[in-house]
Amino acid sequence: MSPFTGSVPAAERWEHLRVTEDDGTVTVTLDRPDKLNALTFGAYADLRDLLAELSRTRRARALVLGGEGRGFCSGGDVDEIIGATLAMDTGQLLDFNRMTGQVVRALREAPFPVVAAVHGVAAGAGAVLALAADFRVADPTARFAFLFTRVGLSGGDMGAAYLLPRVVGLGHATRILMLGEPVRAPEAERIGLISQLADEGGVRDAADALARRLAEGPALAHAQTKALLTAELDMPLAAAVELDASTQALLMNSGDYAEFHAAFTAKRPPKWQGR
């Protein structure tokens, strides 16, 4: 995302999300606890636009995505989305489904690591949002449910059929997406869907600690590592190795690379600047 802006100013508040910023760590909270943080059209659009703004302004060095109340996110709101889509024509439905995909792309393409803090249910679109994060920190109450076939839709919604096999393998992904059965925390950790298992009730503290660790690290190196992980998923080895070489050559001209050498020589911790 280019840092150059046009005429549109940065948003002063986000109507459908709770957003806080603290020294490079941005916390985004889905805040409809009475609806298990079910997503609305506005929540999708705010997520899409917020991620684009943070990517452009370079304000975020790490982001935590969590949910208020009893769970992470129960997916699309049954009335406000599923009910509403029944009255839409094909063009409108395509616009909506493209928007949900844009949120996933924004999570994957953001130049900062994203940590999903998952407790309770992460269902439907909520499960895909967690899947699209770089890290999934979860507590023992977490359960992931990719429910799309349960409502008569393809299990490959919002990029799930692309991302899930790359996280847990094709066999597990086929079972999870076809059957729509919940994957509880012990199994999710075993198959690699969970990056870190926190103590019950401690998921936000664990996610915040990981985000702070990332935010205090070499942001440029993190951004390029994330970009390579995404770009090289579909590359042959020769192209991937060449892209790695070009990226390292660029980073070897960075201030952070020189700072590491200076810090090592002076026997002090590096002062990462992200440039």
Sheet with 143-145, edge to edge strand ranges: 121-123, 143-145, 183-184
User: How far is C-alpha 42 from the geometric centre of its chain's CA atoms?
Assistant: 18
| Distance separating alpha carbons of residues 140 and 201, to the nearest angstrom | 9
Average pLDDT over residues 170-178: 98
Query: What does the pLDDT look like over 55-82, one tens digit per residue?
Result: 999 999 999 999 999 999 999 999 889 8
Question: pLDDT at position 1, please?
Answer: 59
Query: What does the pLDDT look like over 4-50, one tens digit per residue?
Result: 677 777 777 899 999 999 999 999 999 999 999 999 999 999 999 99
Question: pLDDT at position 157, please?
Answer: 95
Does pLDDT of 192 surpass 80? yes
Question: pLDDT at position 13, please?
Answer: 84
pTM of the model: 0.94
Question: pLDDT at position 2, please?
Answer: 66
Query: What does the pLDDT look like over 131-168, one tens digit per residue?
Result: 999 999 999 999 999 999 999 999 999 999 999 999 99
Residue listed under structure tokens 């949120």: 103
Could you list the beta-strand ranges (E) of the chain.
18-22, 25-30, 62-67, 114-118, 121-123, 135-138, 143-145, 183-184, 196-197
